[in-house]
Each structure stands twice: as structure tokens, then as C-alpha cells.
């Protein structure tokens, strides 16, 4: 198991926001992740919520902007935020656009060269990093998962591909049907190649059609979100796939809200309490 090195520690609502770096074998580079430990973790093992962030984000966006610490401290809930892509690899073209490469790992395991050398974010967030945090921190083994935009896509896919792993799943403005939207077509084509059949293993709508979902889904979407209006997110496709598969979904279209962290901060408490309820069962 790789060692971890503390980068920073900041007290927040009686708990601690800490950032750590380590060498990732899955990604073959140095990575940083953020962890919020509530006050309860000083004497007890606590449940964990995974938060997967969106395009251009790092481990810091959610921790600084979502306003989640107060309720997480009250509930006794730890939160881990991974980064959104490998860092420091400097592959050809890696930094050329915001929606592919750096900051845009899409939580898949790349099969195309040169991306397959490093871009295995799915393995990182479902295998390597969970083992690392379970070894080093006071966690009780119960996990839930959530995310935003590209990270909402990641949360849904991780939950569907790992039945029994998480107690609950939710998402804010997720990319619901990446094989059928410009962001997803660019990312999946670049990381996985042009065979669109391979893309279906990383598309929550297609996974629902194949095998349903082990968990009900909770999704919030702002109706003033430009990416929703432009067809990048497609929550209606997710809702239709859930109906076809007989999977319960709570899809809340929130009037007036956009794609920003103001939207997330407005409803994060609902999601934290939703996950804590299931983590406590």
C-alpha cells in the first residue's frame, strides 16, 4: 500500500479538512485527494461519502464551495474528494481543451494510447483510493457516492457497476447519457476508441438498460443550467431508462438554478442527509 503525505490541514466545524498526496499505481503519477473528517472521527469509525467532481475541477472545489462541512460534522460523515484526472503526465494534447485530458478523466479506464498509460480513473476511485483511505483513516466501511456533472456521471456508473459497494447514490446535474452528447462523445471516443459498443459500459442509461441499478437514484437538475439546455446532460433519458428498467428515481428539476456550486450549496444538505439515512441502516 502506498504511503500518504499530508499537504495541509484546516479545522472546520470541529472537524478537519485535510489534503494528502501519494503515488498512484493505477494512474502512474502523483495524486492529491481531499478528506473531511467530522469531529466524531476523533473517537469512532465513521461512514464515508465519495464526491466526484466535474470538468476542470480538482479535489478542492467541492470542499471549498459546497458548504458541506457543517452538516457533515453534525451527522458524523466523512467525505473524500479525489482529483478529476491524472496530473503531471504531460501527454501530447493533454492540456489543449477543458473537456478532454487534464481535469477531464471522465472516471473511465482508457484503452487508447497514450491515455491508457495513466487515465484509469475508474480503477483509482473504485479500488486504489478506497483501499488507501480505509487503511489510513477511522472509517467504518460503509460508503455512499455522489457527484456533479462529469462527476455525477462517474457516481452513477460506479454505483451501477459495483452492486453492494455503496449504500446510496445521488448526483447534481450529471452527464446522464454520455454516449449521446458532445462531451461524452469526445471523451469516450478519445479514451476508448471509435467502437461505440465499448462506450455503453460507461453510460448510465445503457447500464440501466442492460442490468438496472442496485440502488434507487436521486438527481437534482437546475432548469437554468446552460448545459442542460444544450443537451449535454439529458436527465430525461436517465428518467426514461429508469422507468424502462423499473428502477426508482427521484429527479428534481430545480427552477432558476444553473450549473454552478451555488446550485450545489443550495441542496447539498438534502443529499448529505439522504446518504446518511442509508448509511445508518
Give the active site residues: 149, 225, 259
For residue 169, the SS3 value is: strand
169: left (phi over 0), alpha (psi -120 to 50) or beta: beta
Residue of 37, 36, 25, 21 lying closest to 1 (CA atoms): 25
The three cell numbers of residue 28 are: 502512474
The three cell numbers of residue 251 are: 429527479
Q: What distances in angstroms separate CA 249 from CA 90, 112, 235, one per listed residue? A: 40, 34, 11
Question: Which H or E run includes 107?
Answer: none
Would you state the torsion angle of the CA atoms of residues 230, 233, 238, 240, taken in this order, to the nearest 10 degrees?
Answer: 0
Q: How many CB atoms lie within 10 A of CB 63?
A: 23
* Rg over CA atoms, the chain: 17
Q: How far is CA 213 from the centre of its chain?
A: 17
The three cell numbers of residue 224 are: 437554468
Residue of 276, 137, 158, 153 lying closest to 219 (CA atoms): 153
Using a 10 angstrom Cβ sphere, with 0-12 exposed, 13-18 middle and 19 or more buried, the burial of residue 246 is exposed
Q: What distances in angstroms separate CA 262 from CA 12, 149, 160, 222, one per listed residue? A: 20, 14, 28, 11
Amino acid at each position: 500500500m502506498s504511503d500518504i503525505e499530508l499537504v495541509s490541514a484546516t479545522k472546520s466545524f470541529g472537524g478537519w479538512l485535510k489534503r494528502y498526496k501519494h503515488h498512484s499505481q493505477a494512474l502512474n503519477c502523483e495524486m492529491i485527494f481531499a478528506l473531511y473528517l467530522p469531529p466524531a472521527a476523533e473517537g469512532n469509525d465513521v461512514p464515508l461519502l465519495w464526491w466526484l467532481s466535474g470538468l476542470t475541477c480538482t479535489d478542492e472545489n467541492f470542499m471549498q464551495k459546497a458548504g458541506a462541512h457543517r452538516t457533515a460534522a453534525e451527522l458524523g460523515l466523512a467525505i473524500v474528494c479525489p482529483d478529476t484526472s491524472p496530473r503531471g503526465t504531460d501527454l501530447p494534447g493533454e492540456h489543449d481543451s477543458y473537456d478532454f485530458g487534464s481535469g477531464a478523466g471522465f472516471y473511465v479506464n482508457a484503452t487508447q494510447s497514450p491515455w491508457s498509460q495513466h487515465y484509469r480513473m475508474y480503477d483509482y476511485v473504485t479500488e486504489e483510493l478506497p483501499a488507501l483511505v480505509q487503511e489510513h483513516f477511522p472509517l467504518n466501511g460503509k460508503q455512499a457516492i455522489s457527484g456533479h456533472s462529469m462527476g455525477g456521471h462517474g457516481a452513477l456508473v460506479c454505483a451501477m457497476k459495483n452492486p453492494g459497494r455503496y449504500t446510496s447514490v445521488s448526483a447534481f446535474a450529471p452527464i446522464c447519457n454520455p454516449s449521446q452528447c458532445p462531451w461524452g462523445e469526445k471523451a469516450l471516443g478519445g479514451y476508448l476508441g471509435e467502437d461505440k459498443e465499448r462506450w455503453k459500459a460507461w453510460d448510465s442509461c445503457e447500464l440501466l438498460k442492460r442490468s438496472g441499478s442496485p440502488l434507487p437514484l436521486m438527481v437534482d437538475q437546475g432548469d437554468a443550467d446552460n448545459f442542460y439546455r444544450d443537451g449535454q446532460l439529458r436527465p430525461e433519458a436517465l428518467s426514461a431508462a429508469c422507468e424502462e428498467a423499473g428502477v426508482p428515481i427521484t429527479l428534481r428539476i430545480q427552477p432558476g438554478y444553473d450549473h454552478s456550486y451555488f446550485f450545489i450549496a443550495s441542496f447539498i444538505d438534502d443529499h448529505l442527509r439522504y446518504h446518511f439515512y442509508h448509511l445508518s441502516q
